[in-house]
Structure 1
Amino acid sequence: MHVVLTHANVIDCVNPEPMPDASVTVQDGRIVEVRSGVAPANADAQVIDLQGAYLLPGLWDVHIHPEYLAATGANVVEQTVQFGRRLIECLDSGITGLRCAGSAHFMDVAWRDAFNSGQVIGPRLFASGYFLTTTGGHFLTSGHARECDGPYGFVQAIREQMKHDVDHIKLNLSGGIMGPSWDRHWHSFLLDEELRAAFAICRQREFKVMAHATHPGAVKAAIELGAHTVEHGYIMDDACIELFLKHGTWYVPTLAISHLTPDQAGDEWEQRYVRERNLSHDLCCRADAAADEHRKWFQRALGAGVKMALGSDIRPLKDAALLEMGLWVKDGATPWQTLVAATKHAAEVCGVGEELGTVEAGKLADLMVVADNPLANIQHLRQVLMVFKEGHLVVDKRV
């Protein structure tokens, strides 16, 4: 298959300035050339004139969960089917890559394998299986938690996750904003011996740890024990920032968790999300109380040059990454920083940076086309015209 995309403004997510009136040539699922001007095409090539639209890598969301359907009484089959539908819908928004942060019944593993086999067209998915917490731990009502106790309880659970062929291990070191009264984000949940054992078996088996860590003690423990990513970081301190930089640990801030409440919602998309999500008054108060501190440490990490990738931790999945990107810009990131976090950096977090995340020759052609420049306004990412997966046009919204 040979496709030539011409007259494009290419945002390659390597260079901060778009390449105007450029062409991208794709063959057998890979980008073979990115050049200024019109590329020559052979007789069997499909030539698509983008007429000045903006071509960029597909977006990623590196902190997702399935819908919390277990609480509704939905059975495993219903939950799994609904999750697959929501994943496939992500392509409509230009989201071509996802990393799961907790999923019941290993449904993320099943859908990852279905997508990878080509049986179903969907985004790339990196699976965690259940997230692991303690008895009485974080977010038990989600249905995605597995409760563990004691060093060997965690070791056994992690080995079972590995047996089910997950891509990474999700550990919840602390509480959260969204939870019952005893589930608080300034509390640690694991004992030191539980933490050491959990990280030791992951190191021994060469599995990356995705660490839910929400206060300075948990963040520092996660980094020092070798976490690949730290999720949330609602409360941090200067020592946390220094450790991020020293160890090269990735930070996924998930601003949406503390920022999307009725008192904080700004634009029309945030306001619609808040209406539809309809969080309880108590959870809105908890989020509002945490927002300023969360914002401060996001800004400190960004300014210090901590490696950061974009993950939302909210639903519906097809809107979540776009909402999170808007919050990054609102909190002081440039559209360029935000876009790189949702493409190049997100692919690197998932270990596929050499294959995906930028528009460069040799990489897989997971691409999106939008009508206007997202570097001028990040909300222009909502103007999706086309989405490609490995060079195949999987979404076409052109009139």
Structure 2
Amino acid sequence: MARISRRRPVRLVRRARSVSLGLMLSVAVVPAPGLAAPAPIPETTDDARRLPIPPVDRSNEPIVVMTGGTLIDGRGGAPIANAVVVTQGDRIIAAGPAGSVSVPVGAARIIDATGLFIMPGLIDLHIHFTQQRCHDFGRYSDSPAGAAIRGVALAEQLIGAGITAARDVGTVDDVALRIKEAVDRGIIRGPRVLWSGSIIATTGGHGDEVTSTATGRQKPAMGGPSKGFNGPWEWRTAVRRQVRGLADWVKLGAPADREEIVAAIEEAHSLGVPVAIDSYGQYTDWAIEAGVDTLEHPLAMSDQAVALMKKHGTAFVPTIGAFDNLLTGGYPTAGIPTGGFYHTHSRRFVIDQQEHLGKVAQAYRAGVPIGVGTDIPFENETRYPDAYFRELDYLSQAGMSNADVLASATRVGAQIMRMGDKLGTIEPGKIADILVLGANPLASLGNLRDVRYVLADGRLVVEQLPR
């Protein structure tokens, strides 16, 4: 659905004078096979579905200005000292050195960012809003309503840390969609949400097992009726149902037949929806060759997987911390021991942290796009947002420079999300998702924790005093 802000940013001091944006975004639409490329659509929904919407008049929306800060605009150039960033409504209308960008008369809010650092909002490409939290969750039965409440709490944690966009790659019912809508409508605080439905899996595959991947415990009533799909046409049908249900992405799980994987990817792409896969071994290679958009996790990757990713343009979301957690302490409150996966049919291999880091390093050297994703299944109340910053540290351990890690968390992440024309950099026409920090993140990634302001969709949603 469209993200059209009609609310004023928090704590605006006075109403902005009308200033016309004069901006119209042209979005390239991938044509269906056999059809000529259509003309660019001037205005679309701010998600991966890119549905046409009527032109949006932002000329009477409030103007927010940031002055004096050092701008790291995410485009790869040198930081800009004494910068000015101007937003109107949900869009950036100007950004650059103070000498080249004027402060509009009648700005609703002027933020003095002197001594601070301005950068694009962060992106988490692999979360599950419905995952468990709290040490005592085993005492309570679960439900979609309970999952939604947990998701709202997680959304608040993410936005407070400067994570302004998140991709949910597997939800309960339509919980992630409703969180997306609640953020869009201003009902709750949270990141921009792109979402997948439940994982499309074979009967008994990852996403349809009757035992927990983490504990091996049988699910109530043996997991209930199977939600698995079998054969290429059932996988195509599953994709169509998710697209019908407004999913931004499709998420596949392994094991599966090659024909099933190919059919699902082909079907999703024909409908203009990208695909992620949670996979391992030969299933990963099949998915890459079939054109999957993102590979989630570095699990049991073959020797040729990275070369295939480079050849086919596959992006990589390693989620290294999710597996290091298992190796270094498990999830005690969930009764998950240290060491790896146990009692699960779709995870019959050893987790090797150094091998994971090595695969990320190999992909980095090969030029494979690498994004940041966390995928924390339990104890969210204590592990977020720290898990995000730890994930950045893992990428550093794999040999990535601070600048490239920041790019993965912003510009590259937006491109992987299929939102590169709208998110990931600070430049005119982009959505105003902006993070202001107390110290230079290029000097130390740890400075990303020093959040002072967060603008999400042009709204000032976080304002914190210096620590």
- TM-score with structure 2 setting the length: 0.74
8 Å CA contact 1:345–1:357 kept in 2: the answer is yes
The reply on whether 1:368 has 2:435 as its aligned counterpart is yes
Match of 2:270 in 1: 204
In structure 2, the gaps of 5 or more residues are 1-61, 214-218, 343-347
Equivalent residue pairs, number: 375
Q: Any idea what SS the aligned residue of 1:78 has?
A: helix
Q: Which position in structure 1 is the counterpart of 2:165?
A: 97
Listed as ranges, the matches of 1:210-289 within 5 Å are: 210-215=276-281, 217-261=282-326, 263=328, 279-283=336-340, 289=351
CA contact (8 A) 1:107 1:129 kept: no
Structure 1 CA distance for aligned equivalents of residues 261 and 103 of structure 2: 57
Evaluate the alpha carbon distance shift between residue 34 and residue 275 of structure 1 in structure 2; reply closer, same or farther with a 3 A threshold: farther
Quote the Cα distance in structure 2 between the aligned partners of 1:222 and 1:246: 13
**Aligned residue identity for 1:191:** D
- Asked if the contact 1:367/1:387 (under 8 Å) is kept, the reply is yes
1:378 aligns with 2:445: yes
What percent identity do the matched residue pairs reach?
29
Is the counterpart of residue 359 in structure 1 residue 426 in structure 2?
yes
Per residue, is there more strand in 1 or in 2?
1
Q: Deviations over 1:285-324 (max 9, x none)?
A: 9998421211111100001111111111115353332221
Q: Counterpart in 2 of 1:170?
A: 251
Distance 2:97 2:268 in 1: 46
Structure showing the higher helix proportion among its residues: 1
Residue 196 to residue 26, structure 1, CA distance change in 2 (3 Å): closer
Q: Retained in 1: the 8 A contact 2:299–2:351?
A: no
CA–CA separation in structure 1 for the residues paired with 2:74 and 2:104: 28
Shift of 1:362: 1.8
Shift of residue 377 of structure 1? 1.0
Q: Deviations over 1:214-261 (max 9, x none)?
A: 22x222211111101111133334532222222211111111123235
Task: Find the counterpart in structure 2 of residue 307 from structure 1.
Answer: 369
Listed as ranges, the matches of 1:148-167 within 5 Å are 148-167=229-248
Number of the residue aligned with 1:193: 259
Please list the CA deviations of residues 87-143 of structure 1 after superposition, one character each: whole Å capped at 9, or x if unmatched: 132110000000111001121111112223344342110110101222222254489
Q: Distance in 1 between matches of 2:129 and 2:437?
A: 27
User: Is 1:53 aligned with 2:110?
Assistant: no
User: Is the CA contact (8 Å cut-off) linking 1:62 and 1:310 kept in structure 2?
Assistant: yes
Partner of 1:331: 398
Spell out the pairing of 1:1-16 with structure 2 (5 A cutoff). 1-16=62-77
Q: In terms of mean alpha carbon deviation, does 225-234 or 275-284 score higher?
A: 275-284
1:53 is aligned with what amino acid? L
Residues in 1 aligned to 2:333 and 2:123: alpha-carbon distance in whole angstroms: 23
Structure 1: stretches of 5+ with no match in the other structure: 174-188, 266-272
Look at both structures and tell me which one has the larger radius of gyration over its CA atoms. 2
Return 155-164 or 360-369, whichever deviates more.
155-164
Deviations 1:369-388 (A, max 9, x none): 11111111111101111100
Equivalent residues in 2 for 1:100-139 (5 A)?
Answer: 100-138=168-206
In the alignment, the residues of structure 2 paired with residue 261 and residue 190 of structure 1 have an alpha-carbon distance, to the nearest angstrom, of 25
With structure 1 as the length reference, what TM-score do the two structures score?
0.86
Find out whether 1:292 has 2:357 as its counterpart. no
- Partner residue in 2 for 1:40: 102
Q: Distance in 1 between matches of 2:232 and 2:152?
A: 34
Q: Which residue of 2 aligns with 1:64?
A: 127
